[in-house]
Amino acid sequence: MGDLRKDTWDSLSGLPLPLTGKAAENTSRLSDAGSPPYTRGIHETMYRSRLWTMRQYAGFSSAKETNERFKLLLERGQMGLSVAFDLPTQLGMDADDELSFGEVGKVGVSISSVEDMKELYDGIPLDKVSSSMTINSPAMILLAMYIVAAEEQGASMDQLKGTIQNDILKEYIARGTYVFPPKPSMRLITDIFEYCAENVPKWNTISISGYHIREAGSTAVQELAFTLSNALAYVDAAIESGLHIDDFAPRLSFFFNCHNDFFEEIAKFRAARTLWYDLIQERYNPRNPKSSMLRFHTQVAGVSLTAQQPLNNIARVTIQALAAVIGGTQSLHTNSYDEALGLPTEASATVALRTQQIIAEESGAADVVDPIGGSWHVEHLTKEIYQQAKELIETVEMKGGAMAAIEQGWQQHEIHQTAYRYMNEIEQNKRNIVGVNHGVMDELQTIPVTQINPKIGEEQAAKLSQLRLTRDQHTADLCLINLKNGIANDENLFPHVIDAVRARCTLGEIMNVMKDDFGTYMAPSGF
């Protein structure tokens, strides 16, 4: 049992609270928290020993402006950083690419070189602060930039802590920021697994994401089933590349949505831990207990936020965040109330962070392990979600596994059908959304939104031009040639990418070498 945050644990009225998540007599059929299959949580004392990481997702305009927002959030109590990249960066394009025009810095921060990454983390010690980066197709390159930025701060690879999303399968299913075909994309992912297992051991090499699957319109069961199906595909690919399950599985992490149905979401998280444990144990026989322990980050449901009466979103976010905490999340992002209108302002981002802090310090939800465990309703939902998700995973496997099903457009079609039904229910007033089709009223209040620097594209292009003039061009060219040869010789590409980043090769230059060999891809839509 780890050190506890407090000496005594009582309710607001002074009623004593049990120390651990051990099952009470009338719920003895449940396993204890911290014990397989981890239904009740992966740690015996959960948040009594350590609160979840409050990791607010942020990024806009330039690295300098995002750095200022990071420092503000850290100053106000955020525990870890989470980077939102702009669309060109997500697609592996430099800010001065003609296809980047009009999109630089709009939905996240623009990062085209290691110099941008250094500016993003200026004054933030990367050997002490953990970071999460929502990046997929160019994940290897952005992680290489992070490693080199840390190196030039004086931090070594084995000190770095954080997570890179690196989940390309859900991009084909739901999100769309893929570049390469599935096979070379999986090669890049397993190269990251292999390299980091040896050199960056504290880094979570993938965050297998159900979040975007749910945002695209799936049910909770579909979110869980498709996410775990994707995870099994990554595990199989890593094992086929020569890795043992215990080489990489302890650093797998997951990323889930938390939607409006309070009890269903709690049950989904409990079922997820149980089902992942069972799948890993049955299929791979790991020796390390952490290989079958599902750890996850949660973000509340962006798709549930309304542009109408936006202050109501504070209530939605609070309900969803509370469900994530009761469900046992390891880290949490709470959306800002104005995100249906634009990027968060300083004020709205602060309210979102304070929401987590109030849950942690005032609600009592963090004082008890699995506080709703044993509830007839929650246990019933946990069992149902487990069973239905397992059956859906079996359906995916009958289609040849996650990759084959994606290539058929099957998951995409299933999600589209679910989203269509949901929107029909709202339009036909069979499902009420406050401010949209229920509790509608004339709105008098104007909500301020963040304004993006209109010259950010020109400024980033000028920085890139200066970088190319001042770098050692011969070394940069040689690094890109070595990368191309590494692709042809089936070598692990991560060391070549790190060398290219050190030589000040840009994101787009490295991606273009890969495109020349791997090609590009268009996933089926599902219809």
Of 513, 437, 522, 523, nearest to 478 (Cα)?
513
Q: pLDDT truncated to tens, each residue of the chain (527 aa)?
A: 557 777 777 766 677 876 665 654 444 346 789 999 999 999 999 999 999 999 998 899 999 999 999 999 999 999 889 999 999 999 999 999 999 999 999 999 999 999 999 999 999 999 999 999 999 999 999 999 999 999 999 999 999 999 999 999 999 999 999 999 999 999 999 999 999 999 999 999 999 999 999 999 999 999 999 999 999 999 999 999 999 999 999 999 999 999 999 999 999 999 999 999 999 999 999 999 999 999 999 999 999 999 999 999 999 999 999 999 999 999 999 999 999 999 899 999 999 999 999 999 999 999 999 999 999 999 999 999 999 999 999 999 999 999 999 999 999 999 999 999 999 999 999 999 999 999 999 887 788 888 888 899 999 999 999 999 999 999 999 999 999 999 999 999 999 999 999 999 999 999 999 999 999 999 887 65
Of 144, 88, 134, nearest to 111 (Cα)?
88
> What residues have CB less than 8 Å from 295, skipping those under 6 apart?
42, 204, 252, 253, 254, 330
pTM of the model: 0.93
Residue 77: what pLDDT? 92
Q: Are 439 and 240 in contact (CB under 8 A)?
A: no
Which residues are bridge partners to 256 per DSSP? 298
**Looking up tokens 């400024």, which residue turns up?**
459
What is the DSSP code string of 331-395?
Answer: EEE---TTTTTSSPPHHHHHHHHHHHHHHHHHSSGGGSSSTTTT-HHHHHHHHHHHHHHHHHHHH
Dist CA 437 CA 430 (whole Å): 10
Beta strands in 97-204 (DSSP E): 131-133, 162-164, 203-204
Name the DSSP letter for residue 493.
Answer: S
Q: Tell whether omega for the bond before 88 is within 30 degrees of 0, i.e. cis.
A: no
Q: Are 124 and 78 in contact (CB under 8 A)?
A: no
> What residues have CB less than 8 Å from 442, skipping those under 6 apart?
none
Residue 98 neighbours by CB distance under 10 Å: 6
| Tally of helices (H runs) and strands (E runs) in the chain | 19, 9
Structural tokens at position 377: 């309703």
**Looking up tokens 């950083």, which residue turns up?**
81
Residue 286: what pLDDT? 97
Dist CA 351 CA 307 (whole Å): 17
Q: Which amino acid is at 476?
A: A
User: What's the pLDDT tens digit per position in 231-259?
Assistant: 999 999 999 999 999 999 999 999 999 99
Please report, for the chain, the start and end positions of each structural domain, with discontinuous segments joined by +: 31-427, 473-518
* Helical (H) or strand (E) element with 208: strand 206-209
Dist CA 414 CA 393 (whole Å): 13
Residue 101 neighbours by CB distance under 10 Å: 12
With H, G, I as helix, E, B as strand and everything else as coil, classify residue 241: coil
Q: Is 318 left (phi over 0), alpha (psi -120 to 50) or beta?
A: alpha
Of 170, 294, 205, 188, nearest to 241 (Cα)?
188
Structural tokens at position 217: 């319109």
Q: Are 441 and 309 in contact (CB under 8 A)?
A: yes
Residue 391: what pLDDT? 98
**Burial of 516 from C-beta contacts in 10 A (0-12 / 13-18 / 19+):** exposed
- Cα–chain-centroid distance for residue 358? 23
Residue 3 neighbours by CB distance under 10 Å: 8
* Domain covering 31-427 in this structure, CATH number: 3.20.20.240
Q: Are 348 and 336 in contact (CB under 8 A)?
A: yes
Q: Which amino acid is at 127?
A: D
Residue 22: what pLDDT? 61
Beta strands in 155-211 (DSSP E): 162-164, 203-204, 206-209
Q: Are 258 and 298 in contact (CB under 8 A)?
A: yes
Structural tokens at position 153: 């701060």
